[in-house]
Chain A
């Protein structure tokens, strides 16, 4: 029977019973949560093809009897670990690519050591990426290489592609990649040149500490950490929710320091002078213009991205010089675009259908 307010009295005992059961489960699972570690992440079988300081090049072991001719090199963002793309079986982008027949390599980063504070943008764009591309070519025996860049890994891939316009990049895919840094409002305000003395910071600390990077990310949504902990407590009876929470929480807090000189260039050239957007960017004296990228290009952006808002990314597609280019906007946020249950249904199949036809 329904009361005039719409209150369903008949369902109340059932609801109370369900909430009592959940409360008991919360207590049991809550103890379990603190006494166990989370799921093992990044476990898809791989070999370390090359390692040099902060740079690591992995080759994932094929999972298909037949693979596409063109290998894929994933360039990870320098602020975070690459295992976001290789969470657990069934939720691993890498595993998905391998099973779909791609030969997958990843350029992943370790925390730069104190003596690597002098690494510059040139080291990343003119040394690390070309070195990895050469090693992928040697290992695969193929001249062509497709590149996928995630977030700032996309920026590095764009700079690499713009400077190495004669190849060997065959296709370029960027996930949530900013080019108009004025539109990253909070970061832009925090690095306001009137108040932010980047030289003093870098000269004092060497590498920019990960706590500083993490807190600047968290400042974008200052209430979200508390709210997510409340959500965790409410759902701690739900094993799938807890597993997912632990995976993403571990990754999000596993932030890397940034090499000091590299951070100085990002601040001055990108945050202050917006050079990539203004077509005045150069790396090591070599001009990097987006119009010089002519290879097939795909840019995937997220509708609710709070880290790289659409306004910061939307001009990329117009500025790229390729004739074969496409921007796709998908539901989700900065991370859920590439990882998790939504990515499995949205981005991954889209990428597969786009890249498969361009990988032969």
Chain B
């Protein structure tokens, strides 16, 4: 049996593991300070502001290029979503009609198994 003291591969793996733990622990300590929160949030705020400005600029550009605006694409997406919902409702209605007509089957057409299972402990079965 190899042991860590004389196995360079095991030593390397242990070293990587220890470094990971050490760095994570050090970083977690550093990140628990209010200063860290302040710096990260300041940077995040700048990035969010820049993203908003860029978005507005892109929208103006698309209008100039006679391309559909974001609002028009969103309106199309909403119409598609409404069609999807209606198809879903129709599938659901068909399923309910099938169930009420006494056909006990799933979407795939296979009959549904009976809901009679008892836990193994009650049946004395082995797990």
Contact = CB atoms under 8 A, between A and B. Distances in A.
Contacts of B48: 200-201, 204-205
Nearest to A219: B31
A353 B127 CA distance: 9
B113 A66 contact: yes
Contacts of B106: 47, 59, 61-62
A138 B48 CA distance: 44
A66 B44 contact: no
Contact of A195 (B37, B49, B110): B37
Contacts of A196: 37, 41
A226 B17 CA distance: 11
Nearest to A196: B41
Contacts of A52: 81, 84-85, 88
A6 B4 CA distance: 11
Contact residues on A (Cβ < 8 Å of other chain), bracket: 35 or more
B27 to A, nearest CB: 5
Contacts of A141: 99
B114 A227 contact: no
Contacts of A360: 117-119, 122
Given A6-B3, A53-B81, A205 B23 contact: no
Report whether over half of chain B's contact residues are helix, strand or loop; otherwise say mixed. Answer: helix
Contact of B108 (A61, A185, A356, A359): A61
Contact residues on B (Cβ < 8 Å of other chain), bracket: 35 or more
A6 B85 CA distance: 71
Most buried by B among A48, A113, A222: A222
B23 A223 contact: yes
27 contacts: A5-B6, A6-B6, A8-B6, A11-B2, A53-B81, A61-B106, A62-B106, A64-B117, A65-B113, A66-B115, A66-B117, A69-B116, A115-B78, A189-B34, A190-B40, A192-B37, A195-B38, A195-B41, A197-B41, A200-B48, A200-B49, A201-B45, A205-B51, A223-B19, A227-B16, A357-B119, A357-B121
List the 9 shortest-distance A-B pairs measured between CB atoms, nearest first: A47-B107, A356-B119, A223-B23, A227-B20, A204-B48, A195-B41, A204-B52, A7-B6, A69-B115
